[in-house]
Structure 1
Amino acid sequence: MQTLRHFWLDFVIGAIVLVVAFLYGGLAAVWLTTVLIIVEIVFSFDNAAVNAKYLVRLNDFWQKIFLTVGVLVAVFGMRLVFPFVIVCLSGSISPMEALRLALEKGDVETPGTYGYILNAAHPSIAAFGGMFLLLLFLDFIFDSEREITWLKPIENPLQKLGKLDMLSVIVAGTFLLVASETLVDNVPERSNVLFSGVLGIVLYLAVNGLSSLMEAREAEKDREFEEADRASHGHTALLAGKAAFSMFIFLEVLDATFSFDGVIGAFAVTPDPLIIMMGLGVGALAVRSMTIYLVKNGTLAEYKYLEHGAHWAIGALAVMLVLSIKFHLGEVVIGGVGISFILAAWLTSIRANRREAALEQSQAAEPAKVP
């Protein structure tokens, strides 16, 4: 019951959306919307795990902003407005024409339809989102100050390499160049992929840099308060003000990059953009609640490798997004790989916790040595 308390609003909104779907398109629309809700929740668990890592550093006010204003951006911005913008830009058509095409529900394989135009923009979207996510993964894996490692034979050497300045950008840029040369056949599309990939790198560096700058200023301004707070309560003050706003923007961009493959892949389920928005929107709301649940219950701290699994899932998603420029991997493959990393990290965390508990019990059971 304590767990359900975090998700009651999702159930209510989900029920309302399914009623709307029934009025809109009958039982077929209800079924398609339900499928999209499940797909979004299952395939976005890694998103929730990563978001929780950053959300735990925000105070209650900004966590509520993330769950309210952030949801509006995620649902209406990424699941409805973003596809319309892409269709308008890619097809060189007006918003009214894009709306007309959307309401026609044309097949994704038919040239000139809403789904076809959006799918044609996939290489550029994949390059942009892939580079943003890849940098997020590389910054984590190359962090030489990280105390806990999960896949030690791989992570320990990479941590040592991380002492080289800007290594993440070098690796991401090299990967983008190789991908554009090997995965894209025609020159105009190759230029679009390169431009989009570089834009993803620049946006990550800009947003992450701004977040770090604001956080540093906030920490400097509140250093005395934090020291007193730690002394009396044993924890560090949470981010607020400009630092929290910068972190909120970072989380919104991060959520957007996670949404790219889901929005494109949803057209494999249905070409109807309204059903897509309803299904993915409810799923996105549930993922937000899942993020809050992970933060409130300290799940990331309890399962120490969960954060690592989430970042490895991000790295895999980044690579697969770029590979999807040429190869059709499918939502099942992409989501399955991410979930596999999360489950593996969760299971190894449980095993590690049991070993530590057994060791503590054995040490406590040893008779005290007489001096």
Structure 2
Amino acid sequence: MSALEVTSLACLSPCPHQSSKPKRLNNIFSNAQTWRNIKNATFCSKKCGPLMCSLVDQSRVDEVSGFTKEENALIDALIGIQGRGVSASPQQLQEIESAVQVLEGIRGVPDPTSSSLIEGCWQLMFTTRPGTASPIQRTFVGVDLFRVFQEVYLRTDDPRVSNIVRFSDAIGELKVEAAASTKDGKRILFRFDRAAFSFKFLPFKVPYPVPFKLLGDEAKGWLDTTYLSQSGNIRISRGNKGTTFVLQKVTEARQNLLSTISSDSGVQEAINRFIASNRNAVQGQLELIEGEWKMIWSSQMETDSWIENAANGLMGMQIVKPDGKLKFLVHSLFGLKFSINGTYVKSGDNIYDVKMDDGAFLAGPYGVPVEMESKFKIEVLYSDGKIRITRGYNNILFVHVRVDGASQI
């Protein structure tokens, strides 16, 4: 993990020269209204000041985080996974499965269902086969905007396991409950029997329209806990339908940042906290790390045209190649892509001069060249091989996650 030492945290606060709230523009091609609104938007051109950054001492971070080396390897593999596994590339899935197998080999707490450490509220971080199994998995698990939890309470007169989808603090949640029992120290047997929506704007609960009594065996299942950490902060479970779950009670700083970005609320404040939490563990210089990087958030306002957004790296994928080569790739409707190639040269501490000048629209094996040129600087504020925070075109703040193998190019 890396971190950032800043001369002024105010540089990561909303720019005082911008009069409206920053917006995300993850895929401008898929939003017709955005197309119509682009031409009226502007950027702030004021300078917000320099930032200094360095690399983190990983051993120090591990000590503070409360996770073991093997647990941190799993967390590191999970960073950048979207939809809790829905959009994971084969390479990402392989990294996660390898980390899971290592922890399962260690075994963790023996007889986990007999331990008090399994009790409490767990946040779902990853699942395989998210399109199957429970009603919650089929409907909500792949949506990053929602947070998914599992409550486990086995040491009561009415032992229960509950799956919870929290839509937002302002809207409310869906809770699906199951009566539970245990078997052989690691297996939880459950049967779903009730569910309801709890909306903040209603004084009563709204029943979830699933007739559990009529589902028979479909409402039943089991869950084996194959790893429970000694700290009680990480749990790996495998279900009766072959699904693997990774859950956490405690999340680390990068996970908290990504969760805030998914909610699209208070992102710049979260970046400030993220930087402050790592400030004392910095060393060395940051580099523009090679790989495929997907933009998940920016502090931008829209520019004059979508093609300018693409050419200036304001959306889509950035592919950092060896020998100073750089490529921006944006997927549009009907399988069309816009691609532009260029170069980057280091010109200062964590600063790169970028020139993009080889653009084209792509449709399968065919391409139509586009004559255009864009020059700007990229300042690397944070990069750990999984998450990258930069300040780029027009002093816009960007957050990218590494998704090697996802672009298939």
Shorter-normalised TM-score: what interval?
Answer: under 0.3
Q: Which has the larger helix fraction?
A: 1
Q: Which has the larger strand fraction?
A: 2
Q: TM-score scaled to structure 1, two decimals?
A: 0.23
- The higher-RCO structure (CA 8 Å, 6+ apart) is 1
